[in-house]
Amino acid sequence: MYFIDVILPIPLKQAFTYTVNSHEAAFLKQGMRVSVPFGKSKIYTAIVYQVHDTPPLGYEAKSIDQILDEEPIITPLQLQHWQWIADYYLCSLGEVIKAALPSAFLLQSETIIKIGSNRNVKDENMSDDEFLLYEALQHQSSLHINDARSILDRKNVVAVIQKLIEKNIVTVEEKIYEQYTPKLKRFIKLAPQYTSEEKLRLLLDSLNANATKQKEVLMTLFMLSAQTRKPVGSISLQKKSGSTSSTLKTLIDKGILEEYFIQKDRFEYAGESNSEIKELSAAQSDAFQEIKTSFKENEIVLLHGVTSSGKTEIYVRLIEEMLEAGKQILYMLPEIALTTQLISRLQKYFGERISVYHSKFSVNERVEVWKNVLNEKPKAQIVIGARSSLFLPFQNLGLIVVDEEHEPSFKQYSPAPRYHARDSAVVLANFHKSKLLMGSATPSLESYHNAEIGKYGLVTLKKRFGDVLMPDIELVDIKEKNKKKLMTGHFSDRLLEEMREVLKNGEQAILFQNRRGFSPVVECTTCGVSPQCPNCDVSLTFHQHKNQLRCHYCGYHMAMMQSCMACGSQTLDTKGFGTEQIETELKSLFPNSTIARMDQDTTKGKNAYGKLIESLENEEIDILVGTQMLAKGLDFRNISLVGVMNADNLLNFPDFRAHERSFHLLQQVSGRAGRTKKRGKVLIQTYNPYHQILKQVSVNDYRAMYKEQLEERYQYKYPPFFRIIKIVFKDKNLERVQKAATWFGQALELKLHENVLGPEAPPVGRIKNKYIIHLLVKIPKTQSLEKTKKYILGVERSFNSIKEFVSVRVNIDVDSY
């Protein structure tokens, strides 16, 4: 008898054992996939961990359904890395696998199978079984694996579905992510019976005299296809022939023309990699050499370079050297949105050696990148991606760049694995013996501290590229402006003055407001009540555009009311303000300017974000108002003014990182100003211009911020001096969740004493009808992290055996952000 241990993509921590026959045992290797039965009727795709001949204890092993791969799709090194993630972030290896693999690799009984993007499906390219499933999908919109079983009248169907996925004939539905519909380009050709010149002439003659437009189209099409011998796109045909889409339609309806579609890979690079890599300035060149020197002694180097110092060009040089050495390169960014600008920038240098990988891609695209990386294809020598790109099957990784390393979105909060992609990349680099470069204008305290104590190398770039000055930052005291009646709406006289100047010069301005919506809170001035979300403990936000009240936590919304729901009086007032209100005020203040807004509400559509960036680059927008989306690494030429509408709501956020984050955010938004010759101007409006952080921002003093914050972290026992583990409890019943957290907290205190904080309700104590309570465990550097985690897991096990608490959900968040 032979057995295999497999890992299932589920939260259970143990491996499961199945039987295989001797052929299968000889064929199977670690990292291959098999489909296996589980429980009464479930099917999972599992990863082979090892092949052996010891039967499992305590249960009879079932046999596998089917082998799905001919070669491993996961490398041993990946499994090692994922095991580290599971151990460090206290989750199961299965949960890491679930996050790591594109879902098309992990078909299971719940998977919904739908028709794919391939529109040129030919019967002869399919086996009989494949065809049967394809045909079934012509009649119904989706299938489950069990449906496929009954259609094919056999058990082993996963491999068939897998084949169909590879051919793009079917795809799997993903609930969590926005569905990506591939771009299809429309092409036009002559119907086959008219393709010779002779027949075309006959056709032209047969068209009646007033069909001149149609004739024009046909002539143009004939000419274009003769000239280029390439497919003729419908748009270019319309343009070249000066016709409309209705003329095309008429010809298609008559059967003279035919339309067809070719899928355009969204990121297929059409141009050439023709741009020369920029020559580095003296300062950049020094930094570049320093990094290389530092890499001789350190695995990890932190590049602290002010905004617009030209960090990206330095990465480019390092990437170039790694390419020449034949190594793979991973370039990680905190957010998908940011990739757009960077991709086009890097493609100019490296052309099609770049692949992009993130969760907004279709499953098929992700599978493709996965395979290209696994097989070390030149196409995927450089991978740009968000945090999940860390899980790709690199074979020969030479360099990881973690850009904007300070960004909190590198940490995944939910679901498990709650991993920090930067920190996990450090471990990955270690496994591969590759180099890792972190870059930021405002490094996180943790990374900067690591550099200071010699764990990382540190290279500093203090000047902006091209002798551009750092922006001039001015704090505006709006308390005083209010007193002196110098405010128009939310705009101080200083801000208005600077804006007029900028608009007069034909330059652009960005306004930063850290809240979306029109106005966060509606309040009755008679009785003081504000409408609350029925599911969460937050006030609803007024969205003027839709005349709605919305909850930003659960999406609940209702029409804006005319009168107070509590007392009935029509004295509803709006307090605070959001991006939408700023936009409205701007429109009446600057009626002749083009104003746009960038926040979660205006960037929902797939290309909405890219379009806004493009219009800003093309200077079609004069003033852009937005949330912190604006702050991130964007590079614009013509922005000379940045206004921060109100810095106080950032600073007052109840979190030990709030001050550090405010500094980062304000420095980063300021950094969008004046990236070319002219010195940029930044105005920060605040009720508290004497706040230390604002002062440090205004003089660009990162070191002062760092020292002061570090001191506070030391005093109050926070990272980097203490590690923190947050334990989150959720339940529908408030009393029960409080009791549960108290029980857990007391059990922890037995051993961890005063380093257990809470139970405490977070600022928003109820979300989606579940009450939330936190415990925080602080772990001094002198205390064993491993033992502490073991202890916490032990407490969790006892907790799970208490009947009263079965409904309480417990999440453990290591290094919580």
Applying CB under 6 A, which residues contact ligand ADP? 278-281, 284, 305, 307-313, 465, 635, 675
The binder of 566, among Zn ion, ligand ADP, none, by C-beta within 5 to 8 A per type, is: Zn ion
> Judged by CB under 5 A, does residue 49 bind Zn ion?
no
> Judged by CB under 5 A, does residue 527 bind Zn ion?
yes
Q: Which stretch binds Zn ion (CB under 5 A): 50-58, 114-122, 160-168, 521-529?
A: 521-529
> Judged by CB under 5 A, does residue 552 bind Zn ion?
no
Smallest distance from the beta carbon of 510 to ligand ADP, in angstroms? 15
DSSP-based three-state secondary structure for 279: coil
| 564 annotated ligand binder | yes
State which residue, 664 or 730, has the beta carbon closest to ligand ADP.
664
State which residue, 53 or 276, has the beta carbon closest to ligand ADP.
276
Cα angle value 465/470/476 (rounded, 5°): 160
| 533 annotated ligand binder | yes
Q: How many residues belong to the site for Zn ion (CB under 5 A)?
A: 13
The single-letter DSSP state of residue 104 is: G
Query: Can you read off the two tokens belonging to residue 128?
Result: 């009989």
Smallest distance from the beta carbon of 307 to ligand ADP, in angstroms? 5
Rounded to whole angstroms, the Cα distance separating 221 from 215 reads: 10
DSSP string across 316-370: HHHHHHHHHTT-EEEEE-S-HHHHHHHHHHHHHHHGGGEEEE-TTS-HHHHHHHH
Exposure string of 605-614, with b = 16+ CB inside 10 Å and e = fewer, is: eeeebeebbe
> Judged by CB under 5 A, does residue 558 bind Zn ion?
no
Smallest distance from the beta carbon of 331 to ligand ADP, in angstroms? 12
State which residue, 104 or 642, has the beta carbon closest to ligand ADP.
642
The binder of 305, among ligand ADP, Zn ion, none, by C-beta within 5 to 8 A per type, is: ligand ADP
Q: Which helix (H) or strand (E) holds 371?
A: helix 363-374
The binder of 495, among Zn ion, ligand ADP, none, by C-beta within 5 to 8 A per type, is: none
Rounded to whole angstroms, the Cα distance separating 664 from 406 reads: 8
State which residue, 352 or 403, has the beta carbon closest to ligand ADP.
403
Query: Can you read off the two tokens belonging to residue 139?
Result: 């009649």
Beta strand segments in 404-463, E: 435-440, 457-461
DSSP-based three-state secondary structure for 46: strand
Q: How many CA atoms lie within 13 A of 216 on its CB side?
A: 14
DSSP-based three-state secondary structure for 676: coil
Rounded to whole angstroms, the Cα distance separating 94 from 88 reads: 14
Residues 6+ apart with CB under 8 A from 805: 736, 739, 740, 743, 799
- Taking CA atoms, 715 is separated from 323, 654, 709, in Å, by 46, 17, 10
State which residue, 410 or 419, has the beta carbon closest to ligand ADP.
410
The binder of 527, among Zn ion, ligand ADP, none, by C-beta within 5 to 8 A per type, is: Zn ion
Q: Residue 353 corresponds to which amino acid? A: R
The binder of 280, among Zn ion, ligand ADP, none, by C-beta within 5 to 8 A per type, is: ligand ADP
562-601 positions binding Zn ion, by CB under 5 A:
564, 566-567
Q: Residue 38 corresponds to which amino acid? A: F
* Position among 329, 521, 536, 549 found at the interface with Zn ion (CB under 5 A): 536
Contact 67, 32 (CB under 8 A): yes
The binder of 550, among ligand ADP, Zn ion, none, by C-beta within 5 to 8 A per type, is: none
HEC states along 504-570?
A: HCCCEEEEECCCCCCECEEEECCCCCCCECCCCCCECEEECCCCEEECCCCCCEEECCCCCCCCCCC
Smallest distance from the beta carbon of 810 to Zn ion, in angstroms? 22
State which residue, 313 or 601, has the beta carbon closest to ligand ADP.
313
Contact 349, 380 (CB under 8 A): no
Q: Which stretch binds Zn ion (CB under 5 A): 347-355, 544-552, 662-670, 795-803?
A: 544-552
Smallest distance from the beta carbon of 282 to ligand ADP, in angstroms? 10
Smallest distance from the beta carbon of 636 to ligand ADP, in angstroms? 9
Smallest distance from the beta carbon of 314 to ligand ADP, in angstroms? 8
* Position among 211, 252, 554, 589 found at the interface with Zn ion (CB under 5 A): 554
State which residue, 258 or 573, has the beta carbon closest to Zn ion.
573
Residue at token pair 């204008």:
441
Smallest distance from the beta carbon of 300 to ligand ADP, in angstroms? 19
State which residue, 309 or 755, has the beta carbon closest to ligand ADP.
309
State which residue, 617 or 701, has the beta carbon closest to ligand ADP.
617
Smallest distance from the beta carbon of 388 to ligand ADP, in angstroms? 23
**Phi-psi sector, 568: left (phi>0), alpha (psi -120 to 50), beta:** left
* Position among 300, 426, 524, 642 found at the interface with Zn ion (CB under 5 A): 524
| 91 annotated ligand binder | no
Q: Which residues are annotated as a binding site for Zn(2+)?
A: 524, 527, 533, 536, 551, 554, 564, 567
- Chain residues binding Zn ion by CB under 5 A are 524, 526-527, 533, 535-536, 551, 553-554, 556, 564, 566-567
Q: Which residues are annotated as a binding site?
A: 524, 527, 533, 536, 551, 554, 564, 567
